[in-house]
Structure 1
Amino acid sequence: MVHSEQSVTHGPGAALGVDGCTDAVEVGRGGFGVVYRAWQPDFARSVAVKVLAADWHGPSRARFERELRMLGRLSDHPHIVTLHQAGRTAAGNPYLLMAYEEGGSLGDRLRDGAAGDWREAVAGGIAVAGALETAHRAGVLHRDVKPENILISAYGEPKLADFGQARPRSARPTGADGRVTASVLHAAPEVLRGEPPSVAADVYALASTVLHWIRGAPPFAPADGESVDSLLRRIAVDPVPDLRPLGVPDGVCAALERALAKDPARRPATAAAFAEELRVAQVAAGLPASPFVLGGPGGDPAGPWPPQPAAGEAAPLSLSERRRAAVALSATVTRRPSRVRRHALARSLGLLVALAAVLAAGGSRALPTPTPVELPAQVPFGELELNAESREQVVAVGNRADRPVRLTGLTLTGPSRSELRIVADGC
């Protein structure tokens, strides 16, 4: 779907045959339908009306009805375009009536020269990743993530749109005739080779869109006069353009390069994992981590929740699950029964040392700008004295709930260390 802020063909006052809508103006056109901006007097608002332009009894009808079902399940997400209603026009054409996003599409903005701010692009990519992860958990592959399908609201918020190419993750691949339906400039190499779409392909398309947002051009833009075959070869073998000379931090570049790997297995396993890498890069660059919003169940109400991941794919955790997993760690220390006299055990038992790795796992709220620090390889976190009358002692290691500490080793030292043992540890 191509979006434009200019009126095309129809001027104000065009009749759509949709009850309650007036003053329709065409703002976008694609191979399967036409999008109009219309006015709803009863609600005093502008809306977007997508009308199926082709014969609705043909194959495009199934595509249109798929989009209706997908949006019906997902459009309550704050970064997915909102569906208000659906029906048929007076002429019998099916339509979708959606929220009208005043900012147009990201593609429009990039064509107008709005690229270059990596901070805005990364924040927008994280927001869209939340929408994409929500769709994936509902069992839906978008299959056409690109700047033209990201709309910008009047408040500057990105919205994932156009689910016309979306398919259930469980659907068997089609295309036995060898045809590939994809937007070449943002499609993953394996999709262009005719392999079935996947979560990894959606992650690639999102990373390609974020890179385009920063650079002002797709990762592999066609040269003047370049053939399609030459472009496809470059997409398959050329390295990802390096954004570091443009002032983009290394962490952001590394995250994009991993998500744009030629081999799907080398990419982040989920859109949530890709967003987490971008959020870590934000914090490393001295910025607050952008919110990552994950919607609730959107799939078949009778099916399991969350849906089972595909083979070889790790099941992602929601933010609330990650917070619960990041509670304080504890280690319990007790003494063995022994014949050691009380006065021997009264001496200091030395230092309990933990080898700690701080994980940069963010929460849904923005994190404060951190002060850069260098962490030592070993962090001593406590000293404990025990004697013959000591019972089991609990040593708790705490941190912010959204910034967990992982203990990779506990050490007992001191002259009486042989009389002590660690009996339990866990979260």
Structure 2
Amino acid sequence: MEIAFPVPGYTMLSVLGSGGFSTVYRALQESIGREVAVKIDHRILLDEADRARFRAEVRAAGQVSGHPNVIDIHDAGITVDGRAYLVMELCPAGSLADYLRQHGPLPPDRVLDIGVAIADALAAAHRYGVVHRDVKPANVLYDRYGHPELADFGLAARYDPTTESMSTLEVLTPAYAAPEMFWSRRPTPAVDVYGLSATLYALLSGRPPRWPLAEANPTDAEIAALHSAPIPGIEGVPDAVITVLRAGMAREPEKRLPTAGALRDALRAARDTVGNSTDRISDPGAPGADHDLADQPTARLPRLRPIVRGES
């Protein structure tokens, strides 16, 4: 017997991915014949207070989704059995985590393009009072036109009902999480500055900074030691780029670059330096490389400059 898809008005086409807290489906929006991604949380919203918090976070995430480098949220709701769901833009080209697994590190100019775009998206989110809290390569997707877009506003930043907006350790990705996320502090925009800086470092080096493995599950003592370790340079990456990323990953939040906008501007300045270099690495299969999307498989992405506010 076929089981009906739990979100009315959508037909499930396939499972895109599943983790400990949610499953993402490729689905058909029946009313207009559009393919979308539907993310359904595995956890149950137990009472009306939980549901109200979810709706408030979704409304904030919906405001942010108007930015050109943030995944569009088309709809949201709660299933009959009490699970939260989001209906989002489908990004068939996959994530930067997928690219890293398949191809390894990206060249500096591509990474800086991505960083400028996503930092601008975070700056817009912070203006709305929204902190992402889980910036990592798996949450940067490419749309069908080759634009990098930040995903997982909303369900990825699920609240802990016992502490209002305090984040819980269970939703963190330790390799990309700021140190204060392990200190039971209320998350601030500084955690996103750290997360994006760690993400860009991983795109350049092939692995997250300070971390032996992205999948590692260290103890509290090991986490403290890792966050105190120096951040090494990366062969072939200009010192100016590493300096910016180190400033974005300072252990103490108050010693980091102060805002996502400041990180964006510093990355833009570093990008200009790299752009003037005569020994830039060229990878025709890398996200942002020059070629025609129509002539390439989905995994190969065109060179389209990131669309960011304040830049012509």
Question: One fold, TM greater than 0.5?
Answer: yes
Q: Which residue of 2 aligns with 1:272?
A: 261
Cα deviation 1:275-322 (Å, max 9, x = unaligned): 11111111122359x65624xxxxxxxxxxxxxxxxxxxxxxxx3xxx
| Structure 1 residue 138 displacement after superposition | 0.7
Q: 1:260 to 1:25 in 2, by over 3 A?
A: same
Q: Which residue of 1 aligns with 2:32?
A: 43
Cα deviation 1:127-162 (Å, max 9, x = unaligned): 111110001011111111111222221222111111
Bigger radius of gyration, 1 or 2? 1
Q: Which residue of 1 aligns with 2:251?
A: 262
| Structure 1 residue 220 displacement after superposition | 2.0
| Structure 1 residue 211 displacement after superposition | 0.5
| Structure 1 residue 93 displacement after superposition | 4.3
Query: What SS does the corresponding residue of 1:268 show, helix, strand or coil?
Result: coil
Is 1:83 the counterpart of 2:98? The answer is: no
Whole-Å separation in 2 of the counterparts to 1:270 and 1:249: 23
Q: Which residue of 2 aligns with 1:251?
A: 240
Query: What SS does the corresponding residue of 2:32 show, helix, strand or coil?
Result: coil
Q: Structure 1: any 5+ residue segments left out of the alignment?
A: 1-12, 295-318, 320-363, 366-427
Whole-Å separation in 2 of the counterparts to 1:142 and 1:93: 21
Whole-Å separation in 1 of the counterparts to 2:3 and 2:233: 48
AA at the equivalent of 1:123: D
Query: What SS does the corresponding residue of 2:105 show, helix, strand or coil?
Result: coil
Is contact 2:109-2:275 (8 Å) kept?
no
Is 1:237 the counterpart of 2:228? The answer is: yes
Q: 1:278 to 1:53 in 2, by over 3 A?
A: same
Matches within 5 A, 1:161-200: 161-163=151-153, 164-166=155-157, 174=166, 181-200=171-190
Q: Structure 2: any 5+ residue segments left out of the alignment?
A: 278-304
AA at the equivalent of 2:263: F
**The one of 12, 18, 33 aligned to 2:7:** 18
Query: What SS does the corresponding residue of 2:94 show, helix, strand or coil?
Result: coil
Whole-Å separation in 1 of the counterparts to 2:148 and 2:216: 33
Q: Which residue of 1 aligns with 2:197?
A: 207
Identical aligned residues as a percent:
38
Cα deviation 1:207-227 (Å, max 9, x = unaligned): 000111111100022369884
AA at the equivalent of 1:258: A
Is contact 1:24-1:38 (8 Å) kept?
yes
CA RMSD of aligned residues (A): 3.1
Matches within 5 A, 1:355-370: 364-365=311-312
Whole-Å separation in 1 of the counterparts to 2:69 and 2:216: 37
AA at the equivalent of 2:254: A
Whole-Å separation in 1 of the counterparts to 2:202 and 2:132: 18
Q: Which residue of 2 aligns with 1:302?
A: none
Whole-Å separation in 1 of the counterparts to 2:30 and 2:243: 49
Q: Which residue of 1 aligns with 2:116?
A: 126
Is 1:140 the counterpart of 2:130? The answer is: yes
Cα deviation 1:81-109 (Å, max 9, x = unaligned): 10112234566644221111111222222
| Structure 1 residue 66 displacement after superposition | 4.7
Q: Which residue of 1 aligns with 2:43?
A: 54
Whole-Å separation in 2 of the counterparts to 1:204 and 1:42: 41
Is contact 1:70-1:166 (8 Å) kept?
no
AA at the equivalent of 1:234: A
Greater share of residues in strand: 1
Aligned residue pairs, count: 278
Q: 1:155 to 1:250 in 2, by over 3 A?
A: same
Greater share of residues in helix: 2
**The one of 142, 147, 150 aligned to 2:140:** 150
Q: 1:57 to 1:112 in 2, by over 3 A?
A: same
Is contact 2:12-2:25 (8 Å) kept?
no
Whole-Å separation in 2 of the counterparts to 1:32 and 1:63: 18
